[in-house]
Amino acid sequence: MTKAPAMVLTLFLLIPLAAFFPSDAAADNWPMFQHDAAHSGYSNTTMQVSPISAWNFTGKSDLSIAAVANGVVYVSSDGFLRNEIYGVNASTGQLIWNSSYYIVDYAALFCPAIADGIVYTLTTAYNASNGNFLFNYTSVNASTSPTAANGIVYFGTNSSNNFAPGGVIAINGRTGQQVWSFTGEQGQLMYGGMVHYPPAVKDGVVYFSSGGGVYALNAANGALLWRYSAIDKGWGSLGCVSVADEQVYDNIAGNLSCISAQNLRWKLDTGRGNRFAAVNNGVVYINSVALDASSGTVIWNNSLTGLSSPVLADGVVFYGHYWHSDEGSHGKWNKHGIVGCNATTGEVVWEYTLSGFSDSQDGGYVSVANNMLFYSDESTVYAFNLQPLPVSPMPPAQANDNLIIAALTTFALIGIAAIFWLLKNGKKELRSVQIGQTLLLCSLSRSLGTYALSRSSSFCSFRSS
């Protein structure tokens, strides 16, 4: 009787492991809205296959987008009589300090900014280590999250009159004293001239958007450098500006405009305004699409809906996400969570769904810092570990060793079995793929189970045992 041959899967090692499992990277904070003063939305943190839940922190009421610096997570909270600012241990979720500040409407909409040991809210500055009060700047009449750069803190501003023009004001980051202010053009309709989203700062230039157009100002003195006015100036003109590679990306009234040297380079209907573009390596991400930064050509569209502004880390684009569910009740019909998509293909590689339902049609916002992901939704911050599992050095696997695949993923496109148990002398030992290993254990389609291992210097394979 002839024995049926075992099925063998072979994968040639054409791609270095370092491309998928990078070495230790420099610490990367998330000190303000969309990571940095240019609002790139990009973090150079590294991660494992799937984020693992670490802790939750719940405030007294709705919490802002998380800013992260030097091992501390900072979030603002709405309050009945006073707003709150919290400093939370990024590793454990334990409260380090909290302080109250001058009440403003919808404080949870405004992400704090941290620079030079100071945390800035919409109206007040605190010592970032202990929460001690430093100074107020309530007269600024800020209407956006702060943007900190080179010792100056910038805010968008508006007027108590909905039809009045908005602008930008700059304060000294050490004293709170006004350095300069600039007022834009009058809006044509209600809210048309107001500034609702934080200005971007890059290479000594401040950029902001309102119903009067996209403005570029000298960051030191507020002098107008140029204005691009050929954009929607009416209702809903809530411009969101990101800057990268000498191009300005303004998503206003659902249209993303790419402006270079004061000229429109390309424009795309994004389907929804009030979202910032994230930019890295010549690719622009916004809503459900990825675009070529030079031409605006769509690279992929995964057709997801209900997405927040995107953030990028280690080849994954993360979004806060909401979607309608028929399971809710009493006006709360929407599910909320996080979705992670392959930045090259748009394929969903990871999802996390919160329990319960919400009446909000906005997904929460994601921040990524120092190998952790933070997601603010309503009154809770959810933290996830992204750091690869520690692995003790072990000798290379040998032919005829047994392999139990404990986790499969398509995260790195080729389905690395990043976590597995290796049977050595009858004893299970936890292993993962490491930089420098000559043996790559991979499968896009293998089921979880036990396999016999084969190897050579040029390829590896495994088959059912």
- pLDDT tens, residue by residue, 266-286: 999 887 777 899 999 999 999
Q: Are 227 and 213 in contact (CB under 8 A)?
A: yes
Which DSSP letter does residue 403 get? Answer: E
* pLDDT at residue 442 is higher than 50: no
Segment 114-141 mean pLDDT? 93
- Domains in the chain (CATH in brackets) are 8-21+395-464 (no CATH), 42-385 (2.130.10.10)
Higher-pLDDT residue of 340 and 221 is: 221
Higher-pLDDT residue of 62 and 303 is: 303
User: Phi and psi at residue 17, in whole multiples of 5°?
Assistant: -60, -30
What local confidence, expressed as pLDDT, does residue 400 receive?
52
Higher-pLDDT residue of 249 and 336 is: 249
Where is mean pLDDT largest: 165-169, 210-214, 305-309, 368-372? 368-372
What local confidence, expressed as pLDDT, does residue 331 receive?
53
Q: Quick one: CA torsion of 366, 368, 372, 375, rounded to 10 degrees? A: -10
What local confidence, expressed as pLDDT, does residue 337 receive?
85
Q: Which of 63-77, 168-182, 360-374 has the lowest mean pLDDT?
A: 360-374
| Average pLDDT of the residues of the chain | 75
In 197-347, beta strands by DSSP E = 200-202, 205-210, 213-218, 224-228, 240-244, 247-252, 255-260, 263-269, 278-280, 283-286, 289-292, 298-301, 311-313, 316-329, 332-342
* pLDDT at residue 191 is higher than 80: no
